Amino acid sequence: MYAIIDCNSFYVSCERAFRPDLRTKPVVVLSNNDGCVISRSAEAKLLGIPMGAPAFKFKKIFKEKQIKVFSSNYSLYGDMSSRVMEVLKQFAPEVEVYSIDEAFLLLENLPVDIETYAHQIKKTIFQYTNIPVSVGVAPTKALSKVANHVAKKFQQKTKGVFVIDTEERRVKTLKWMPIAEVWGIGRGHHKRLSDLGIGTAYEFTQLSESWVKKNMSVIGLRLQKDLKGEATMTLDDDTRDKKAIATTRSFEYTYKEYEEVKERIVTFAYSCAEKLRKQKSACTHAYVFLRSNRHDSSKEQYRAGTMVAMPYPTDSTLVIVNAVVKGLKEIFKANIHYKRAGVVLTGLTTTKQVQLFANEDPKHESLMKIMDGLNDKFGAHKIKIASQDLERTWKMRQEHLSPQYTTKLSEIIEVNCNERE
């Protein structure tokens, strides 16, 4: 049997873990630069706050409805995620970390019945981390996602745990499950299925396998079989390398000058190159893009992007920076108020494969090791290249940032232990 453990409103739950006074209050967490809502408590949902709500448009509503607002605190969320995943390793020999707030477990040879075991997982995670979770259990990964959806949807009835362990329950659940909510059914497949009159997950399982394979590829066929109860998806290695590495940001201000935008693009490329070396990969291409402020209709709107080829597979910051600056020159347009930009490294390969070609100056490899070593020792971004602003460290707008309770000693919770008089 497979189980998926999904943290409820994870970012909000992380904030509440250290603020018990907010446990029943409406809470939202905002995206980078306090842009839009990316996590909502159940109370905030009931007040009509939609996912993705632009913060500047809802500022008055937040105040009127007394909704507590937090900026994204990724140091805290990442550490709390690690703690949850460590707890899960106590319950299963195989754990696939699927995202920051989700993980699959393979459950075998359990000491108690499976539903009791799922409740133990849920209880232990809350006891150790104060993070509430929902648990879905089923014979396949796709069905466990369906079970988790039920556990979340009907919290009071399920107490956060739902198990699909009989054929009758599988069929009944799939007949209830909207096809649009099924894991792996994107907009394109949803439209295609809707045009056929397919509205539920069960109706999807009744389609011929030949039609599914032809119109939804082998991946769609595997999903259909999984929903039928035939396991086709196994746990993946959670250490697998990324196929692309990106750094994209909204600027804290709008920029018009080329040199200002260039400095940001170079900094993004620098960050990408560091990530690239950490996973021991090299890239062959970089995609560079620029965006104007879509929320300011009084200014000219502009979107542009270009793909730039590297001279050879590389993990060198210097080579990558030169390439992205070349791309920036192609797409930069004067008199535009730029609000967002990004760099995406693609065509990734391992550094072992790169060594076969040996096109790069060997001095680059030594220099990159020294730069990475100094940054690891003295702190991120201490060593920069000349085209970066040496006085500037990237800082997001975070007007509602909570303390880094678990990762910064100076921000640890203080408890008053004075005796009562």
In the chain, where the domains are located: 7-74, 76-228, 245-378
Q: What is the mean pLDDT of each run of 10 residues along the chain (421 residues)?
A: 96 95 95 88 95 93 96 90 93 88 92 94 97 97 96 94 96 96 91 94 96 92 95 66 80 88 92 89 91 88 92 89 94 93 88 51 68 65 57 64 83 72 51
Domain covering 7-74, topology:
MutS, DNA mismatch repair protein, domain I (3.40.1170)
What's the pLDDT at 186? Answer: 87
What's the pLDDT at 258? Answer: 94
What's the pLDDT at 268? Answer: 92
What's the pLDDT at 239? Answer: 41
What's the pLDDT at 355? Answer: 47
What's the pLDDT at 391? Answer: 53
Domain covering 76-228, topology:
Alpha-Beta Plaits (3.30.70)
What's the pLDDT at 338? Answer: 94
What would the pLDDT profile of 151-195 be if each residue is shown by its tens digit?
A: 999 999 999 999 999 999 999 999 999 999 999 898 889 999 999
pTM of the model as a whole: 0.69
What's the pLDDT at 296? Answer: 84
Please give, one letter per residue, the 3-state secondary structure of the chain.
CEEEEEECCHHHHHHHHCCHHHCCCCEEEECHHHCEEEEECHHHHHCCCCCCCEHHHHHHHHHHCCCEEECCCHHHHHHHHHHHHHHHCCCCCCEEEEECCEEEEECCCCCCCHHHHHHHHHHHHHHHHCCCEEEEEECCHHHHHHHHHHHHHCHHHHCCEEECCCHHHHHHHHHHCEHHHCCCCCHHHHHHHHHCCCCEHHHHHCCCHHHHHHHHHHHHHHHHHHHHCCCCCCCCCCCCCCCCEEEEEEEEEEECCHHHHHHHHHHHHHHHHHHHHHCCEEEEEEEEEEEECCCCCCCCCCEEEEEEEEEEEECCHHHHHHHHHHHHHHHCCCCCCEEEEEEEEECCEEHHHHHCCCCCCHHHHHHHHHHHHHHHHHCCCCCCCCCCCCCCCCCCCCCCCCCCCCCCHHHCCCCCCCCCC
Looking at 3.30.1490.100, 1.10.3720.10, 3.40.50.970, 3.40.50.1820, the CATH number of the domain 245-378 comes to 3.30.1490.100
